[in-house]
Amino acid sequence: MILIIGGTGFYGRRLAPLLANCGEEIACMDINPETADFSEHSKQVRVMRGDVSQFDDVMNALNIAKPSRVINLAYFLGSDYPPRVAFKLNILGMDNCFEACRLAAVNRIAYASSLAVPGERKFYGDRRINEGDFRHGHVQYAMHKIFNEWQAQDYCEKHGMEITAIRPANVTGPDKIIGSVDHVFCITTPARGNPVSFPFRDAMRCPIHVDEVAEIFARVIVKDKPEHWICNTGGQAVSLGEIADIVKEFLPGAQITFDKDTGGKEVSGNYLIDNTRLVQEFGVQYRPYRERVLQIINDIRREAGLPLIGGR
Ligand SMILES: NC(=O)c1ccc[n+]([C@@H]2O[C@H](COP(=O)([O-])OP(=O)(O)OC[C@H]3O[C@@H](n4cnc5c(N)ncnc54)[C@H](O)[C@@H]3O)[C@@H](O)[C@H]2O)c1
């Protein structure tokens, strides 16, 4: 049994069915339990309401589900939340998860950290960042993820737990609406037939499709003793202009415009990311990004009742 806290969100909606298809029994605890439809997997996926910032809710979920492994995905994306509100979900919620697992003798946990942890590109020149780099992140979201990573390590060292942080890059998918979204809207807005504009053509991103992220969590959580505590997902380093060009191959009439051709690269977040750990230990391989763009275009068009686009 695997318990996924925050299991009905953007990742959880994919991860629970994926694990179920691998034969796992899944319990999801979420404060919004109705935002995912697991009816196709109703025998293997059960959903309960619970608030990860309430220690009793987490203990209760562990008592009901009796999992051997736990994944925590419940978090606020972004840095604009009132300090106390963000602390309760991001810091206390994560610690509730670690501590409840310790008390319930659940040794294996995975959670989502972020690309935000290492901080801006300017600290690294032109080289790829790796998990050993200094954590330069300084905004609320990054600071909370940095603390989560430190706290996880403390639990591992003092209590012998096996806790893995996955640091996703710029995750993309048709239903992504919070976090880094310009690289997503560059695809989804024209797929709906609407115009879209961005400040810089050369702004760099590192997208990875949410299906790949779900696959990573599925591979990582079933391993008992992983080699590393922190793993970057990496992704495809690409500019918004290049994404626009791919979209226009599939949708020649797409109206994607930029205010300026240059000036975006210097202010881009991290986009050169080393994911050797995941590749070597978990055999992770990503489908070509171009295929994922077409997949997203057609997901949007299917939902909007528009004709689908064929691959070229
Ligand atoms: N989406 C991205 O681009 C991205 C990139 C890097 C890292 N991450 C991290 O991945 C994780 C999952 O992201 P996501 O995109 O699936 O987020 P999401 O917001 O779609 O899902 C989070 C889930 O947590 C639930 N939740 C919120 N507060 C809760 C609470 N108090 N108790 C229980 N559940 C609660 C929400 O209802 C939601 O279903 C987060 O830790 C996020 O920081 C996401």
Q: Are residues 97 and 220 in the same domain?
A: yes
Q: How high is the pLDDT of residue 207?
A: 98
Question: Is there a contact between 12 and 33 (Cβ–Cβ < 8 Å)?
Answer: no
CA 298 to ligand 1 centroid distance, Å = 25
Residues 110 and 298: their CA atoms lie apart, in Å, by 31
Task: Determine, yes or no, domain membership for 309.
Answer: no
Residues 10 and 15: their CA atoms lie apart, in Å, by 9
Q: Whose CA is nearest to atom 11 of ligand 1?
A: 73
Point out the ligand 1 atom lying closest to the alpha carbon of residue 145: 43
Q: Whose CA is nearest to atom 39 of ligand 1?
A: 9
Say which CATH number the domain at 108 has: 3.40.50.720
Degrees to nearest 5, angle at CA 95 with 226 and 142:
80
Q: How high is the pLDDT of residue 312?
A: 61
Boundary of a domain, candidates 234, 249, 280: 234
Task: Determine, yes or no, domain membership for 274.
Answer: no
**Number of separate domains in the chain:** 2
Task: Determine, yes or no, domain membership for 281.
Answer: no
Q: How high is the pLDDT of residue 158?
A: 98
Residues 4 and 288: their CA atoms lie apart, in Å, by 28
Task: Determine, yes or no, domain membership for 279.
Answer: no
Q: Are residues 14 and 140 in the same domain?
A: yes
Q: Are residues 141 and 56 in the same domain?
A: yes
**Top mutation candidate among 10, 109, 143, 212 for ligand 1, by most atoms within 8 Å of CB:** 10
Q: Which residue range is the domain that position 127 belongs to?
A: 2-171+208-234
Say which CATH number the domain at 253 has: 3.90.25.10
Q: Whose CA is nearest to atom 31 of ligand 1?
A: 51
Closest C-alpha among 210, 263, 248, 229 to residue 160: 229
Q: Are residues 144 and 69 in the same domain?
A: yes
- Is the pTM higher than 0.95? The answer reads yes
Query: Judging by DSSP bridges, how do beta strands 238-239 and 204-205 pair with one another?
Result: antiparallel
Q: Are residues 132 and 148 in the same domain?
A: yes
* Sequence-separated (6 or more) residues with CB below 8 Å from residue 147: 91
* Sequence-separated (6 or more) residues with CB below 8 Å from residue 105: none
Q: Whose CA is nearest to atom 2 of ligand 1?
A: 171
CA 72 to ligand 1 centroid distance, Å = 9
Each residue's pLDDT expressed in tens, for the chain with a length of 312 residues? 999 999 999 999 999 999 999 999 999 999 999 999 999 999 999 999 999 999 999 999 999 999 999 999 999 999 999 999 999 999 999 999 999 999 999 999 999 999 999 998 888 988 999 999 999 999 999 999 999 999 999 999 999 999 999 999 999 999 999 999 999 999 999 999 999 999 999 999 999 999 999 999 999 999 999 999 999 999 999 999 999 999 999 999 999 999 999 999 988 989 999 999 999 999 999 999 999 999 999 999 999 999 999 866
Task: Determine, yes or no, domain membership for 275.
Answer: no
Cα first-last separation, the chain: 42
Three-state secondary structure readout of 104-139? CCCCEEEEECCCCCCCCHHHCCCCCECCCCCCCCCC
Task: Determine, yes or no, domain membership for 47.
Answer: yes
Q: How high is the pLDDT of residue 175?
A: 96
Task: Determine, yes or no, domain membership for 276.
Answer: no
* Sequence-separated (6 or more) residues with CB below 8 Å from residue 158: none
Q: How high is the pLDDT of residue 174?
A: 97
Q: Whose CA is nearest to atom 32 of ligand 1?
A: 51
**Residue-by-residue DSSP string for 30-86:** ESSGGGS--GGGTTTEEEEE--TTSHHHHHHHHHHH--SEEEE-----SS-S-HHHH
Q: Are residues 25 and 89 in the same domain?
A: yes
Point out the ligand 1 atom lying closest to the alpha carbon of residue 176: 1
Residues with CB under 6 A from ligand 1: 5-6, 8-12, 30-32, 35, 51-53, 73-75, 77, 89, 93, 112, 114, 168, 171, 179
Q: Are residues 244 and 139 in the same domain?
A: no
Task: Determine, yes or no, domain membership for 134.
Answer: yes
